[in-house]
Structures are given as structure tokens and as C-alpha cells.
């Protein structure tokens, strides 16, 4: 029972961080990774938010890599 509670707490923290990152990414980061998304609208950003939130460690790594290359 305690192990399940710990697992759910870890999952909750992961998802909360993912949502926070996802919001920041769809506002500022998506156009840095994909130049074709520079003029995209709210619908596209809303569409990619769940995937970005779920895969946030991968997306963060890619965003940082692109930021270092352009700086």
C-alpha cells in the first residue's frame, strides 16, 4: 500500500512538472525547435500540449540543445 502511494506521488510530481514545462514550451519553445511552427495558432499549441507534458524530459533536452547551438 505504501509503495503504491509513493508511486502515485512520484507520478503526480512528474505530471505536474510536465504540465508546467508544457505550457512554457508551447508558448516559447516550439518555434525554436520547429521553425515551421513559428506562426502556428492556439489550436496547434493546445494539440501538442499533452504530448509535450508527457515527454517533457526529452523535449527539455532538445530545447536546451537547440538553445546552446544558437547562442
pTM over the 0.75 mark: yes
pLDDT digits (tens, 9 = 90+) for 13-47: 999 999 999 999 999 888 888 888 878 888 999 99
pLDDT bucket at 71, cuts 50 / 70 / 90 = low
Q: In the chain, what are the domain boundaries?
A: 2-70
Alpha carbon distances (Å) from 67 to 35, 39, 57, 58, 70: 13, 19, 15, 14, 5
Q: Report d(CA 14, CA 44) in Å as an integer.
A: 23
State the chain's mean pLDDT as an integer: 91
CB contact at 8 A, 22 and 58:
no
Where does residue 36 rank: exposed (0-12), middle (13-18), buried (19+ CB within 10 A)?
A: exposed
**Largest pairwise CA distance in the chain:** 48
Amino acid at each position: 500500500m505504501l509503495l503504491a502511494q509513493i508511486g502515485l506521488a512520484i507520478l503526480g510530481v512528474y505530471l505536474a512538472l510536465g504540465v508546467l514545462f508544457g505550457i512554457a514550451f508551447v508558448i516559447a519553445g516550439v518555434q525554436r525547435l520547429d521553425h515551421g511552427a513559428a506562426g502556428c495558432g492556439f489550436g496547434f499549441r493546445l494539440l501538442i500540449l499533452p504530448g509535450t507534458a508527457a515527454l517533457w524530459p526529452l523535449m527539455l533536452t532538445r530545447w536546451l540543445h537547440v538553445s546552446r547551438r544558437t547562442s
